[in-house]
Amino acid sequence: MKLPALRFNGDILPYNPHTLHIAYARDIRRILVPYKGEIQGDYGKRAMVVTGEGELCGENALDIFLKLAEIHNGGGSGVLSIPDIPPFEAVLTDLSLTREPKDGVIGYSFKFLEKCRFDSGDSAKDRSVTLAETADLWEISAKYARPIEILVEKNPDIETPFILIPAGSEVIL
Protein backbone atom coordinates (compact mmCIF):
# COMPACT_ATOMS: atom_id res chain seq x y z
CA MET A 1 0.00 0.00 0.00
CA LYS A 2 1.36 3.42 -0.93
CA LEU A 3 0.64 6.19 1.58
CA PRO A 4 -0.14 9.68 0.31
CA ALA A 5 2.88 12.00 0.35
CA LEU A 6 3.68 14.38 3.18
CA ARG A 7 2.74 17.94 2.20
CA PHE A 8 3.42 21.37 3.65
CA ASN A 9 1.50 24.34 2.28
CA GLY A 10 0.66 22.37 -0.83
CA ASP A 11 4.28 21.44 -1.57
CA ILE A 12 4.65 17.66 -1.81
CA LEU A 13 7.70 15.75 -0.66
CA PRO A 14 8.19 13.15 -3.36
CA TYR A 15 9.25 10.52 -0.80
CA ASN A 16 7.79 10.15 2.66
CA PRO A 17 10.39 10.21 5.44
CA HIS A 18 11.43 6.77 6.70
CA THR A 19 11.11 7.98 10.31
CA LEU A 20 8.17 10.04 11.52
CA HIS A 21 7.52 10.89 15.17
CA ILE A 22 4.35 12.71 16.23
CA ALA A 23 4.32 13.86 19.86
CA TYR A 24 1.19 14.93 21.71
CA ALA A 25 1.54 16.38 25.23
CA ARG A 26 -0.41 18.22 27.92
CA ASP A 27 0.95 20.94 30.19
CA ILE A 28 0.54 19.57 33.70
CA ARG A 29 2.08 21.70 36.42
CA ARG A 30 2.69 20.79 40.01
CA ILE A 31 2.41 23.72 42.41
CA LEU A 32 3.43 23.65 46.05
CA VAL A 33 0.87 25.60 48.05
CA PRO A 34 2.33 26.68 51.39
CA TYR A 35 0.58 25.04 54.34
CA LYS A 36 -1.76 23.16 52.00
CA GLY A 37 0.42 20.69 50.10
CA GLU A 38 0.79 20.09 46.41
CA ILE A 39 -1.82 20.65 43.73
CA GLN A 40 -1.75 19.87 40.03
CA GLY A 41 -3.11 22.04 37.30
CA ASP A 42 -3.91 20.96 33.76
CA TYR A 43 -3.06 23.97 31.61
CA GLY A 44 -4.18 22.29 28.43
CA LYS A 45 -2.79 20.79 25.28
CA ARG A 46 0.73 21.61 24.19
CA ALA A 47 1.63 22.13 20.57
CA MET A 48 2.06 18.91 18.63
CA VAL A 49 5.66 18.27 17.55
CA VAL A 50 6.37 16.34 14.34
CA THR A 51 9.91 15.21 13.63
CA GLY A 52 11.28 12.95 10.97
CA GLU A 53 14.20 11.80 8.87
CA GLY A 54 14.41 10.65 5.31
CA GLU A 55 16.20 10.70 2.02
CA LEU A 56 15.62 12.68 -1.11
CA CYS A 57 16.61 10.80 -4.24
CA GLY A 58 17.28 11.64 -7.85
CA GLU A 59 19.03 14.28 -9.88
CA ASN A 60 16.89 17.01 -8.33
CA ALA A 61 17.39 15.88 -4.68
CA LEU A 62 19.48 18.93 -3.81
CA ASP A 63 16.89 21.23 -5.44
CA ILE A 64 14.13 19.69 -3.31
CA PHE A 65 16.19 20.19 -0.14
CA LEU A 66 16.97 23.79 -1.09
CA LYS A 67 13.24 24.40 -1.64
CA LEU A 68 12.59 23.08 1.88
CA ALA A 69 15.35 25.38 3.17
CA GLU A 70 13.68 28.31 1.39
CA ILE A 71 10.36 27.46 3.09
CA HIS A 72 12.15 27.22 6.45
CA ASN A 73 14.03 30.49 6.00
CA GLY A 74 10.87 32.27 4.87
CA GLY A 75 9.24 31.56 8.24
CA GLY A 76 5.55 31.65 8.82
CA SER A 77 3.11 28.83 9.12
CA GLY A 78 1.37 26.57 6.66
CA VAL A 79 -0.85 23.52 6.55
CA LEU A 80 0.95 20.26 7.27
CA SER A 81 -0.69 17.16 5.81
CA ILE A 82 0.47 13.80 7.12
CA PRO A 83 -1.10 10.53 5.97
CA ASP A 84 -3.93 9.41 8.32
CA ILE A 85 -3.72 12.58 10.49
CA PRO A 86 -6.11 15.53 10.04
CA PRO A 87 -4.18 18.47 8.48
CA PHE A 88 -3.14 21.22 10.88
CA GLU A 89 -1.33 24.55 10.82
CA ALA A 90 2.37 24.25 11.65
CA VAL A 91 5.75 25.97 11.41
CA LEU A 92 8.88 24.30 10.00
CA THR A 93 11.24 25.09 12.89
CA ASP A 94 14.26 22.89 12.08
CA LEU A 95 15.74 21.49 8.90
CA SER A 96 19.07 19.67 8.70
CA LEU A 97 21.16 18.07 6.01
CA THR A 98 22.17 14.77 7.61
CA ARG A 99 24.06 13.22 4.73
CA GLU A 100 26.02 14.92 2.01
CA PRO A 101 24.68 14.58 -1.50
CA LYS A 102 26.15 11.40 -2.94
CA ASP A 103 24.95 9.32 -5.88
CA GLY A 104 21.77 11.40 -6.10
CA VAL A 105 20.75 10.79 -2.45
CA ILE A 106 20.54 13.41 0.30
CA GLY A 107 19.70 12.66 3.95
CA TYR A 108 17.64 15.22 5.84
CA SER A 109 15.77 15.70 9.11
CA PHE A 110 13.03 18.14 10.07
CA LYS A 111 10.87 19.39 12.91
CA PHE A 112 7.42 20.96 12.66
CA LEU A 113 5.66 22.66 15.55
CA GLU A 114 1.88 22.94 15.54
CA LYS A 115 0.62 26.50 15.59
CA CYS A 116 -1.86 26.51 18.44
CA ARG A 117 -5.01 28.56 18.28
CA PHE A 118 -6.75 29.88 21.32
CA ASP A 119 -10.50 29.76 21.55
CA SER A 120 -11.84 33.30 21.78
CA GLY A 121 -15.32 32.14 22.74
CA ASP A 122 -16.45 31.26 26.26
CA SER A 123 -12.96 30.68 27.60
CA ALA A 124 -11.75 31.12 31.15
CA LYS A 125 -10.20 34.51 30.36
CA ASP A 126 -13.66 35.93 29.65
CA ARG A 127 -15.33 34.57 32.78
CA SER A 128 -15.63 35.06 36.47
CA VAL A 129 -16.84 32.64 39.11
CA THR A 130 -18.77 33.06 42.30
CA LEU A 131 -17.18 30.93 44.98
CA ALA A 132 -19.40 28.26 46.49
CA GLU A 133 -16.99 27.85 49.41
CA THR A 134 -14.06 29.69 50.93
CA ALA A 135 -10.86 29.31 48.88
CA ASP A 136 -7.61 31.08 48.12
CA LEU A 137 -6.24 31.97 44.68
CA TRP A 138 -3.97 28.90 44.68
CA GLU A 139 -6.97 26.58 44.99
CA ILE A 140 -8.87 28.53 42.32
CA SER A 141 -5.80 28.34 40.05
CA ALA A 142 -5.76 24.56 40.35
CA LYS A 143 -9.51 24.09 40.00
CA TYR A 144 -9.89 26.24 36.86
CA ALA A 145 -6.43 25.54 35.33
CA ARG A 146 -5.47 29.22 35.30
CA PRO A 147 -1.93 30.43 36.05
CA ILE A 148 -1.69 32.06 39.47
CA GLU A 149 -0.02 35.12 37.91
CA ILE A 150 -3.11 35.80 35.78
CA LEU A 151 -5.46 35.46 38.75
CA VAL A 152 -3.34 37.87 40.79
CA GLU A 153 -3.27 40.35 37.90
CA LYS A 154 -7.02 40.17 37.23
CA ASN A 155 -7.97 40.41 40.92
CA PRO A 156 -5.90 43.32 42.29
CA ASP A 157 -8.23 43.72 45.28
CA ILE A 158 -7.00 40.38 46.66
CA GLU A 159 -3.78 41.26 48.48
CA THR A 160 -1.96 37.92 48.23
CA PRO A 161 -2.73 34.50 46.74
CA PHE A 162 -2.82 33.00 50.26
CA ILE A 163 -5.71 35.08 51.61
CA LEU A 164 -8.92 33.12 52.04
CA ILE A 165 -11.70 34.52 49.88
CA PRO A 166 -15.16 34.11 51.43
CA ALA A 167 -17.88 32.04 49.79
CA GLY A 168 -20.12 34.17 47.58
CA SER A 169 -17.23 36.36 46.37
CA GLU A 170 -16.65 36.83 42.66
CA VAL A 171 -13.22 36.03 41.22
CA ILE A 172 -12.19 36.97 37.68
CA LEU A 173 -10.53 34.12 35.81
Domains of the chain: 7-114 (2.40.30.200), 124-172 (3.10.350.10)
From CA 140, how far away is CA 154, in angstroms rounded?
13
Taking residues 90-116, what's their average pLDDT? 92
pLDDT at 121: 41
Q: How far apart are CA 40 and CA 24, in angstroms?
A: 19
User: Are the C-beta atoms of 115 and 45 separated by less than 8 Å?
Assistant: no
What is the rounded distance in angstroms from the CA atom of residue 152 to the CA atom of residue 172?
9
- Residue 157: how many CB atoms within 10 A of its CB? 7
Q: How does pLDDT run across 40-88, given as a tens digit for each residue?
A: 878 788 899 999 999 999 888 898 899 889 989 988 888 888 888 888 8
Looking at residue 167, its pLDDT comes to 92
Sign of torsion over alpha carbons 115, 120, 125, 130:
negative
pTM: 0.64
User: Which pLDDT score, from 0 to 100, does residue 25 have?
Assistant: 93
d(CA 169, CA 173): 13
Q: Which residue from 113, 144, 94 is spatially nearest to 23, judged by alpha carbons?
A: 113
Secondary-structure breakdown of the chain: helix, strand, coil percentages, each rounded to the nearest 5: 20, 45, 35
Phi, psi of 30 (to 5 degrees): -105, 125
